[in-house]
């Protein structure tokens, strides 16, 4: 088979690493890919948002299966376009991807189908939003309605912080049109976890849960990021918690989207929080999570290509998970997630047994591998226990001298906070 992966981040590199193991794959392409993917795939210089270019390439190279990683092309309707051209694609349609593309749609959908989530209201008017905050008090959560690269969520500890967030989104347009409508919702206290599933219409096949760390610095301090590290499985998430989440959240969502005429095919990601009354939804994504994918897929024992094909054909992929643990830590550019330089040489790490490196924001300048983003790469390890995986990862990270151009958290996988950080 000829297989194409659309995207250029760590999530896509993880997918590429798994696909490269499959004997079913003849030619593996990534568009546009990154510096690390060049070892497993042929990187083609087509932007992930150039849907016309991607379709033309898929036809020219006789691509048998396309997997779409990032959310932006999903919400632009890449799956609809590929399907219209008779091209096999593993991704939700634009209509189904709205579950991630609009938080106000997602919240109203959850309310309609009795899916557990925080209480909320939607606003476009500054004064009404401020009045609601005055009524409800703090802490409280302010969310940009649209896609904001994982950064459009403010957990305000005070009413003043909440008012500031409202002004930044609705007046200053910090997130452009993504913040022209905002969702203000109840602050939920508890531990967060991510539960992804392969989905086709009303068929739901869950993966092992993961937990990521969103804040930039140790002890969950600093601004929200796209994720500074993750681990899987999650010791405090029991089989009963997973069964409840599958039945009352993921399955209800798949069924509801069918009823709405928005049948879902792809990866359904529940960003969940364990409250005193059970798991509730913080947010939905309609694609693989990042960096959760980097610690979940290494535990999958199935041929990933066959999984995609089975799900698309309406067959049970009969997922098999290794009885092991994965943990990964993100190496980020100094200044991330605000401002940072690109084009900085990538440190050389001494990899150890059972460790692996997933590239995110990297590229080649001539023969030199340099940074090309805020989250540069992830160092991961798969071991029998989370403690062993953590020790292995930090051994690799400590194998190079300190570098002021990069930073990473040193407490990934530790129980550092009970507060939601999304």
What does the pLDDT look like over 73-85, one tens digit per residue?
999 999 999 999 9
341 and 387 assigned to the same domain: yes
Asked whether residue 193 carries a pLDDT value surpassing 90, the answer given is yes
What number of residues does the chain have? 422
* β-bridge pairing 362-365 and 221-224: unpaired
Asked whether residue 242 carries a pLDDT value surpassing 90, the answer given is yes
Picking from 250, 284, 312, the residue at the C-terminal end of a domain is: 312
In degrees to the nearest 10, what's the CA dihedral of 333, 217, 296, 403? 40
* Residues 6 or more apart in contact with residue 408 via CB below 8 angstroms: 228, 229, 329, 330, 331, 332, 397
What does the pLDDT look like over 329-371, one tens digit per residue?
999 999 999 999 999 999 999 999 999 999 999 999 999 999 9
Nearest residue to 68 via CA among 299, 270, 266, 311 = 266
Segment 167-180 shows an average pLDDT of 77
219 and 289 assigned to the same domain: yes
Which residue carries 């049970």 as its tokens? 316
* β-bridge pairing 375-383 and 355-359: antiparallel
Confidence of residue 418 (pLDDT cuts 50, 70, 90): very low
Is there a domain that residue 69 lies in? Answer: yes
Pairwise pLDDT comparison (357 vs 121), residue with the higher score? 357
Asked whether residue 417 carries a pLDDT value surpassing 50, the answer given is no
Segment 127-148 shows an average pLDDT of 87
Q: Contact, 89 vs 81, CB < 8 A?
A: no
278 and 360 assigned to the same domain: no
Segment 10-29 shows an average pLDDT of 98
Q: pTM of whole model > 0.75?
A: yes
Picking from 157, 180, 203, the residue at the C-terminal end of a domain is: 180
| Predicted local distance difference test score (pLDDT) of residue 317 | 98
How far apart are the two ends of the chain, measured CA to CA in Å? 39
Asked whether residue 145 carries a pLDDT value surpassing 50, the answer given is yes
| Predicted local distance difference test score (pLDDT) of residue 198 | 98
| Predicted local distance difference test score (pLDDT) of residue 301 | 98
Is there a domain that residue 105 lies in? Answer: no
348 and 288 assigned to the same domain: no
| Predicted local distance difference test score (pLDDT) of residue 146 | 75
| Predicted local distance difference test score (pLDDT) of residue 393 | 97
Q: Contact, 234 vs 418, CB < 8 A?
A: no
CATH of the domain at 30: 3.40.50.20
Q: What CA–CA distances, in Å, run from 168 to 28, 68, 173, 178, 294?
A: 43, 32, 6, 12, 33
Q: Contact, 181 vs 126, CB < 8 A?
A: no
Helix (H), strand (E) at residue 84? helix 78-84
Per mean pLDDT, which range of 14-18, 143-147, 163-167, 362-366 is the poorest? 143-147
Asked whether residue 20 carries a pLDDT value surpassing 50, the answer given is yes
Cα separation, 411 vs 220, in Å, equals 9
Is there a domain that residue 98 lies in? Answer: no
Asked whether residue 176 carries a pLDDT value surpassing 80, the answer given is no
pLDDT > 70 fraction of the chain, expressed in percent and rounded: 96
Structural domain boundaries enclosing 149: 125-180
In degrees to the nearest 10, what's the CA dihedral of 169, 175, 176, 178? -90
Cα separation, 104 vs 416, in Å, equals 31
Confidence of residue 419 (pLDDT cuts 50, 70, 90): very low
Q: Contact, 216 vs 225, CB < 8 A?
A: yes
Cα separation, 257 vs 99, in Å, equals 9
228 and 261 assigned to the same domain: yes
334 and 399 assigned to the same domain: yes
| Predicted local distance difference test score (pLDDT) of residue 416 | 52
| Predicted local distance difference test score (pLDDT) of residue 150 | 58
Segment 396-422 shows an average pLDDT of 79
| Predicted local distance difference test score (pLDDT) of residue 206 | 98
Segment 385-398 shows an average pLDDT of 96
Cα separation, 108 vs 242, in Å, equals 24
Is there a domain that residue 107 lies in? Answer: no
DSSP 283-303: EEESS--TTTHHHHGGGB-S-
Confidence of residue 148 (pLDDT cuts 50, 70, 90): low
214 and 289 assigned to the same domain: yes
DSSP 242-271: HHHHIIIIIHHHHHHHHHTT---EEEEEEE
CATH of the domain at 228: 3.30.470.20
Per mean pLDDT, which range of 172-181, 257-266, 364-373 is the poorest? 172-181
Segment 104-130 shows an average pLDDT of 92
Q: How high is the mean pLDDT of the chain?
A: 93
Q: What SS3 state is found at 21?
A: coil
Q: Which pair of tokens denotes residue 2?
A: 């000829």
Half-sphere exposure of 388 (CA within 13 A, CB side): 10
Is there a domain that residue 47 lies in? Answer: yes
Is there a domain that residue 49 lies in? Answer: yes
Segment 161-180 shows an average pLDDT of 81
Cα separation, 67 vs 91, in Å, equals 7
Number of domains within the chain:
4
């Amino acid at each position: 088979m000829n297989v194409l992966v659309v995207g250029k981040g760590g999530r896509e590199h993880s997918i590429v690493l798994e696909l490269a193991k499959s004997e079913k794959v003849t030619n593996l392409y990534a568009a546009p890919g990154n510096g690390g993917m060049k070892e497993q795939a042929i990187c083609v210089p087509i932007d992930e948002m150039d849907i016309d270019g991607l379709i033309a390439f898929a036809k020219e190279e006789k691509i048998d299966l396309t997997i779409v990683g990032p959310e932006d092309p999903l919400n632009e309707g890449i799956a609809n376009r590929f399907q219209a051209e008779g091209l096999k694609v593993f991704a939700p349609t634009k209509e189904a991807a709205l579950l991630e593309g609009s938080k106000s749609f997602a919240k109203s959908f959850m309310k309609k189908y009795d899916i557990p989530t925080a209480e909320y209201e939607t606003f476009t008017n500054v004064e009404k939003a401020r009045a609601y905050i005055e009524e409800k008090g703090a802490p409280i959560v302010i969310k940009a309605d649209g896609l904001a690269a994982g950064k459009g969520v403010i957990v305000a500890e005070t009413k003043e912080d909440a008012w500031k967030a409202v002004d930044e989104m609705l007046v200053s347009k910090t997130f452009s049109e993504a913040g022209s409508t905002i969702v203000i919702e109840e602050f939920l206290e508890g531990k967060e976890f991510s539960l992804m599933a392969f989905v086709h219409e009303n068929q739901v096949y869950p993966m092992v849960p993961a937990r990521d760390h969103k804040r930039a610095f140790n002890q969950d301090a600093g601004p929200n990021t796209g994720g500074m590290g993750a681990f899987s499985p999650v010791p405090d998430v029991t089989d009963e918690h997973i069964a409840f989440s599958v039945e009352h959240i993921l399955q209800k969502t798949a069924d509801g989207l069918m009823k709405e005429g928005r049948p879902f095919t792809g990866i359904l990601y529940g960003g969940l929080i364990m409250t005193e009354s059970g798991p509730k939804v913080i947010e939905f994504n309609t694609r693989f999570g990042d960096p959760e994918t980097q610690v979940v897929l290494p535990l999958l024992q199935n041929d990933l290509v066959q999984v995609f094909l089975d799900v698309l054909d309406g067959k049970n992929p009969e997922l098999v998970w290794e009885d092991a643990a994965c943990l990964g830590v993100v190496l980020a550019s100094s200044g991330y997630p605000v401002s940072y330089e690109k084009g900085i040489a990538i440190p050389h790490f001494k990899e150890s047994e059972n460790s692996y490196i997933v590239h995110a924001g990297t590229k080649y300048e001539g023969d030199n591998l340099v940074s090309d983003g805020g989250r540069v790469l992830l160092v991961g390890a798969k071991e029998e226990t989370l403690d062993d995986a953590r020790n292995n990862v930090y051994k690799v990270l400590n194998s190079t001298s300190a570098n002021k151009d990069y930073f990473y958290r040193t407490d990934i996988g530790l129980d550092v906070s009970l507060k939601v950080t999304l």
